[in-house]
Amino acid sequence: MGRLEGKTAIITGGAGGIGKAAGALFAKEGANVLLVDLSEAALKAAVADIGSNRVHWFVGDVTRARDNDAMVAAAKEKFGGVDVFLANAGIEGDVKSIEDYDEARFDQVIAVNVKGVFLGLKSTMPAMRERGGGSIVITSSVAGVQGAAGVAPYVTSKHAVIGMMRSAAKEGAAHRIRVNTVNPSPVETRMMRSLEEGFMPGNADVAKQGMASRIPMQRYGMPEEIAQVMLFLASDDSSWVTGSVYLADGGSTS
Domain span(s) for CATH 3.40.50.720 in the chain: 8-184+226-247
CA distance 248 to 187: 10
User: What pLDDT is attached to residue 50?
Assistant: 98
Does residue 218 register a pLDDT over 90? yes
Does residue 168 register a pLDDT over 80? yes
Q: What's the whole-number mean pLDDT along residues 86-106?
A: 97
Quote the mean pLDDT of the chain: 97
Does residue 180 register a pLDDT over 90? yes
Would you please indicate which residues are annotated as catalytic (active-site) residues? 154
User: Model-level pTM greater than 0.85?
Assistant: yes
User: What pLDDT is attached to residue 1?
Assistant: 72
pLDDT digit string, tens, across residues 7-16: 999 999 999 9
pLDDT digit string, tens, across residues 99-122: 999 999 999 999 999 999 999 999
- The alpha carbon of residue 190 and the mean position of all alpha carbons in its chain are separated, in whole angstroms, by 14
Q: Confidence class of residue 239 from pLDDT cuts 50, 70 and 90?
A: very high
Length of the chain as a residue count:
254
- Domain 8-184+226-247 carries which CATH code? 3.40.50.720
Name 129's Cβ contacts closer than 8 Å, sequence gap at least 6: 175, 177
Whether residue 67 contacts residue 77, with contact meaning beta carbons closer than 8 Å, is answered with no
CB atoms near residue 24 (< 10 Å)? 21
Q: What's the whole-number mean pLDDT along residues 118-134?
A: 98
Name 209's Cβ contacts closer than 8 Å, sequence gap at least 6: none
